[in-house]
Structure 1
Amino acid sequence: MKLTLGVLDQSPIGPGENAQAALRHTLELASATDRMGYSRFWVSEHHNAPGLAGSSPEVLLAAIGAYTRHIRIGSGGVLLPHYSPYKVAENFRVLEGLYPGRIDLGIGRAPGGMPLSSVALRGGAPKQPDERFPESLRELASYLEISPPLGREHPLAGLKATPLVETVPELWLLGSSGYSAAAAAQMGSGFSFAHFINGYGGQGAVRDYRRHYRPGPLGAQPKVNVCVFVICTDSDAAAEREASAMDLRLLYQEKGEFGKPFPTPEEASAYPYSEWDRTRIAENRQRMIVGGPDRVRSALTAFAASYGAEEVMVNCLMSDFRLRMRSYELLAEMFPQRQR
């Protein structure tokens, strides 16, 4: 099986950097991975997150499209419960008009930040109940003209999302649980499992998605990919050193210390870990693939096989941008993608 690789980039703000540098790095990485032959380049949505610069994937994608030529670009993902399906449809129709046939619309239902930012995004409106999510997806599909228009009884019947372009984005539901897998199977969309968020249960969720898939308003064919953290350097020892910084970063998040900057390997080495800390680090390693080229090649191949997935989205979240770029270069050498 030939393994296809895509990229999830969260525009991380590295040690000693600012948000402007992180956004420039995202554009540079998109251009480089396009040349390397990666299949997709997705950007995430996070709010009030001091360590991540990507709060508006639609705006960032408009810039990324100008820096790339072949790679599919998309959201990983737009957090639909915060927004009007109509506005999301118009944003992605504009992107399709600019970069036809290259746009992915990945949709999530997570808050993407702390409760205060969720309240602000909704303009103070109450949180949408979960049962509203499928209806929002149907509205979105109708505005994109992927599914039939809204029925006459609907208060927005006859409404068109402009511009009226000829192509439509490829739709994916993103998730880290069985709920999203079930929704994707019911609605007919592709399904992307966030193994980098939840290192357990993803294989079962993907099996259930395939078993229960039916064509629906979001698509007619099942599609699966899975996203995982990958830390690959020229040697196992160097990768482990870099992974220690990621271990500490995830530990900070679990302790609610979201304002801390991305740690360096030196800070990770000096940190006074408790027994609980070490247990959590071992658990979080289930979300990562770490090593030099030989170890990563073997682990990533086995990982994809465990999901039965031919496409893996890799998130090389590392403390130094040069190391991140090198990680993607090594992966492209291990798993040659399309040729330029």
Structure 2
Amino acid sequence: MKLKLGILDQSPTSMSGNALSALTHSINLALMAEETGFHSLMYAEHHGVEAYGSSSPELLAAIILSKTKRIKVGTAGIMMRNYSAYKIAEWTKLLGSIYPGRFILGLGKAPGGLKDAVMALNNHKPVVLSSMETKLEEIIRFLKEEKGVYENLIAQPTHLEQLPEIFWLGSGITSASEAAKHGIGYSFAAFMNSENGTENTEAYLQQFDLTQYTSSSSLQVAVAVSVAETIEKARRNAYGMAYQFLQSRQLVSPEALFPPEMVEQKVLGTQDEKEFFSILDRMIIETPQSVSVRLEHIAEQYGTDDILVLSNMYREEDRINTYQSIIKNNT
């Protein structure tokens, strides 16, 4: 089964590099993805952390759209609590008008950073989390050019050829139900939480309202993958990514990617060892010969052909090799 493969790019920094090199790698990865046949590229939003080079997925998406011709490009996602619905709608319509059918608006409810970053982004005011779904509704009204809170206010440019795709990012049943209720796509973050995953995605598909934003459901599953010549090498290549996940779960600002040897020094024999290897075990660790079968099984499990792949490696060549191996064997 040929899958609709996408790349989730967090623009990861490594201990041996910096944010600028991470962004250069992101541009090079995008050109490779366009050339080799990936369906989409999605850029993440993180603030105030050393681990990731990009804090503005909408800007990175605009840059990549200008450098490519075919591939769909989007955000995965814009952290809604940090911006007004009106501003999100404005630049979404701008990219949607210049690149019709190619820009994807991925929206998330996560903070995108620790407390200080969120406060700074919101002009030192606390965020009202209960307003996230309301903000989504406002964005949809602006995109569809319907009257909303501001009766005569338009979001330029108007009269788009087609509405941009919207994906609601999440890892729980609430997000799945919200996406279904509003008739938008649902991107399930399996790399963050695979427990009860099929229950969440089935709820989305069963509850999807055909009369809302779009008339057909669009389910995407995001997974963390490492591919190498041997399982052992693929597993060790994923150590840096697993350690970043561990730091995020502990509400610690993730550091730049460490080499496997340094990760071992930090976790072996500590209270974090069990949790670290539990995170690692949930990743997709495969060889070039076996990765396509594993991804097909995941697609069948969730009932979708849309798979978004995250791969953060200490060595950029190992990350590129993972993506090349995946697309080469997608037949």
Q: What is the TM-score when the length of structure 1 is the normalising length?
A: 0.91
Q: Which runs of 5+ in 1 are unaligned?
A: none
Distance 1:129 1:303 in 2: 32
Does the residue aligned with 1:16 lie in a helix, a strand or coil?
coil
Do structure 1's residue 327 and structure 2's residue 326 form an aligned pair?
no
Distance change (3 Å), C-alpha of 1:112 and 1:287: farther
**Structure 1: which amino acid aligns with 2:132?**
F
**Structure 2: which amino acid aligns with 1:187?**
H
**Structure 2: which amino acid aligns with 1:23?**
L
Aligned mate of 1:312, from 296, 307, 310: 307
Aligned mate of 1:199, from 179, 194, 197: 194
Does the residue aligned with 2:2 lie in a helix, a strand or coil?
coil
Does the residue aligned with 1:227 lie in a helix, a strand or coil?
strand
**Structure 2: which amino acid aligns with 1:195?**
A
Distance change (3 Å), C-alpha of 1:78 and 1:260: closer
Distance 2:56 2:172 in 1: 24
Does the residue aligned with 1:31 lie in a helix, a strand or coil?
helix
Q: Which position in structure 2 is the counterpart of 1:122?
A: 122
Q: Which position in structure 1 is the counterpart of 2:239?
A: 244
- Tell me the CA shift for residue 228 of structure 1: 0.5
Q: Is the 8 A contact 2:240 2:312 kept in 1?
A: no
- Tell me the CA shift for residue 30 of structure 1: 0.8
- Tell me the CA shift for residue 166 of structure 1: 2.7
Q: Which position in structure 2 is the counterpart of 1:38?
A: 38
- Tell me the CA shift for residue 252 of structure 1: 3.6
Do structure 1's residue 218 and structure 2's residue 218 form an aligned pair?
no
Q: Which position in structure 1 is the counterpart of 2:12?
A: 12
Q: Which position in structure 2 is the counterpart of 1:280?
A: 275
Q: Is the 8 A contact 2:169 2:187 kept in 1?
A: yes
Distance 1:313 1:259 in 2: 22
Q: Is the 8 A contact 1:45 1:112 kept in 2?
A: yes
Q: Is the 8 A contact 2:267 2:273 kept in 1?
A: no
- Tell me the CA shift for residue 227 of structure 1: 0.3
**Structure 1: which amino acid aligns with 2:214?**
G
Which runs of structure 2 are paired with 1:1-340 in the superposition (5 Å)?
Answer: 1-130=1-130, 132-145=131-144, 149-151=146-148, 154=149, 156-164=150-158, 165-258=160-253, 260-274=255-269, 276-336=271-331
Distance change (3 Å), C-alpha of 1:252 and 1:197: same
Identity %: 31
Distance 1:108 1:126 in 2: 18
Matched pairs, number = 330
Distance 2:126 2:255 in 1: 30
Q: Is the 8 A contact 2:238 2:280 kept in 1?
A: no
- 1:76-120: CA deviations, max 9, x gaps? 011112211110011111212332220000111111111111111
Q: Is the 8 A contact 1:184 1:190 kept in 2?
A: yes
- 1:113-164: CA deviations, max 9, x gaps? 111111111112331232x22221121111111xx6125xx3x012111122
- Tell me the CA shift for residue 243 of structure 1: 2.1
Q: Which stretch of the first structure deviates more once superposed, 17-26 or 285-294?
A: 285-294
Distance change (3 Å), C-alpha of 1:128 and 1:252: closer
Distance 1:216 1:193 in 2: 22
Q: Which stretch of the first structure deviates more once superposed, 108-117 or 211-220?
A: 211-220
Q: Which stretch of the first structure deviates more once superposed, 91-100 or 42-51?
A: 91-100
Does the residue aligned with 2:13 lie in a helix, a strand or coil?
coil
Q: Is the 8 A contact 2:114 2:251 kept in 1?
A: no
Cα root mean square deviation, aligned: 1.8
Does the residue aligned with 1:192 lie in a helix, a strand or coil?
strand
Distance change (3 Å), C-alpha of 1:259 and 1:277: closer
Distance change (3 Å), C-alpha of 1:284 and 1:307: same
Distance change (3 Å), C-alpha of 1:113 and 1:272: closer
Distance 1:217 1:141 in 2: 10
Distance 1:138 1:250 in 2: 31
Distance change (3 Å), C-alpha of 1:85 and 1:217: farther
**Structure 2: which amino acid aligns with 1:288?**
M
Q: Is the 8 A contact 1:198 1:287 kept in 2?
A: no
**Structure 1: which amino acid aligns with 2:180?**
A
Q: Is the 8 A contact 2:5 2:308 kept in 1?
A: yes
Distance 1:127 1:255 in 2: 21
